[in-house]
Structure 1
């Protein structure tokens, strides 16, 4: 379950209540994403709070863009978060899709490449290994709780990007815009083949989609309103053309069917993205997750 970090009314109380509810429930991960030129919380600051607010659930920063950070400071921040949460941290790394975020921090949009990201990953992994990579008396610490650093996933929907990440990633953290299982499975096959060619264990195959629970037209309208707010860098007419079919909206029974479909193509985990800060959405999904996981093996 993803926190409602992109909602306009989010505050500390909402985030804390969501974190407690997710931690107490059957969810396999608590997730959140990164943006810079937006009203969402800073990812690393939120990671520190979540480490204190939760005890059980793995924490997944689904998209962090290394090019928006100094790699040594990012490695230090993530190692600190991993230490505080006792090794429960997974980090999805991607190049990002918004030049405004690059410009906001003074980063060069020309660095928005997989090569540049891989170079920064290599630096972070050296920091986590305890190598002394700066002109300092001691290496940059602290040591992460998990040996070698947090588990890294590649955040992408592109086959070329998936292949290029096989040397350093342990799996995939994607997103499904239209819940097309055939298309999703084709991307998973790319990952499976790339990881096998690299002589690595089978990849963790995670995907995500926006969701809204309810009856009638209300859930779809909720998704549309969310995307109008979230996709503010895209012209409104394009968002309105996309929103009626993006993500998922419907009843509990229909959501169970969707999750079972993802299980059938070998999905390891589904990261549900809320389109409202209403905590009742989490509680309703929680009642479904145990049943789905028990019968299909897929986690949510």
Structure 2
């Protein structure tokens, strides 16, 4: 979903969701920010559940430390119910202290341990345990038992290893589309999950994309990064932009996706850098060839 793009309205968001739902895609993803003008993640979850029927709905990522864990568990269980059990929850610690401060959260809680503690509370809520002295436990129960699939949002091996005890897989990010480096992280996950006695992890990664001809796609990525990375000095973003994310033609995207498939990637979450629906249509043509 193009949630980090400017001037969004209901019609644009609904059109994106329904086009993705009709296409060859496996999931519909969107991320969380607080101190920005993007739609609020959990509110949007309810709308996306109503606007779609097929694709999985994936938060990439939501930050538990920005929420009360019991309320977050209740909201996500409601989203799972409304979507008929199509919710996957990508979880991360976030990269911006301003989001923590905006909701009165302590930036000192921006750790894997603090995140894991909140995940443990959420799992207890989904299991129907009474986590307070209330008469009844907090509901509704999620459709999926024992709860929605959980993916850890990370780019580092240490985080991957620490999440093996509670996560079902990865919702990673690659800045430079280095397939070999991504495979190294996947191997860390494969080993960690095996050592934890768990089934093989779901291996997903993501990158910014712009599809088209000539210089326009790379310029589109650059514009998006300047807006999205507004906490970083513009000159640093300018230096990053030529090699961050992916920009190119449909044939070039097809090649990139095949390279990631070869290392066992289960899913690629493509991050939009424009709200133009033609971007979805052109990617759908590529994805249809790979199904």
Equivalent residue runs for 1:1-300 within 5 Å:
3-293=1-291
Matched position secondary structure for 1:243: helix
Matched position secondary structure for 1:194: helix
Q: C-alpha distance in 2, partners of 1:234/1:87?
A: 38
Residue 12 of structure 1: CA displacement? Answer: 1.1
Q: C-alpha distance in 2, partners of 1:143/1:8?
A: 35
Matched position secondary structure for 1:193: helix
Matched position secondary structure for 2:242: coil
Question: Structure 2: 5+ residue runs without aligned partners?
Answer: none
Residue 10 of structure 1: CA displacement? Answer: 1.4
Residue 288 of structure 1: CA displacement? Answer: 1.2
RMSD over aligned Cα atoms: 0.5
For these two proteins, the number of residue pairs brought into alignment is 291
Residue 85 of structure 1: CA displacement? Answer: 0.2
Q: C-alpha distance in 1, partners of 2:254/2:215?
A: 19
Matched position secondary structure for 2:88: strand
Q: C-alpha distance in 2, partners of 1:192/1:149?
A: 22
Residue 134 of structure 1: CA displacement? Answer: 0.7
Residue 5 of structure 1: CA displacement? Answer: 0.2
Task: Give the structure 2 partner of residue 298 of structure 1.
Answer: none
Q: C-alpha distance in 2, partners of 1:160/1:142?
A: 34
Residue 62 of structure 1: CA displacement? Answer: 1.1
Residue 144 of structure 1: CA displacement? Answer: 0.5
Q: C-alpha distance in 2, partners of 1:50/1:120?
A: 25
Question: Structure 1: 5+ residue runs without aligned partners?
Answer: 294-300
Q: C-alpha distance in 1, partners of 2:170/2:179?
A: 16
Task: For residues 198-252 of structure 1, give each alpha carbon's deviation from its aligned partner in whole angstroms, at most 9, with x where no partner exists.
Answer: 0000000000001111111110000000000000011111111111110000000
Residue 54 of structure 1: CA displacement? Answer: 0.4
Q: C-alpha distance in 2, partners of 1:112/1:167?
A: 19
Residue 280 of structure 1: CA displacement? Answer: 0.5
Task: For residues 2-38 of structure 1, give each alpha carbon's deviation from its aligned partner in whole angstroms, at most 9, with x where no partner exists.
Answer: x000001211110000001000111000000000000
Residue 135 of structure 1: CA displacement? Answer: 1.2
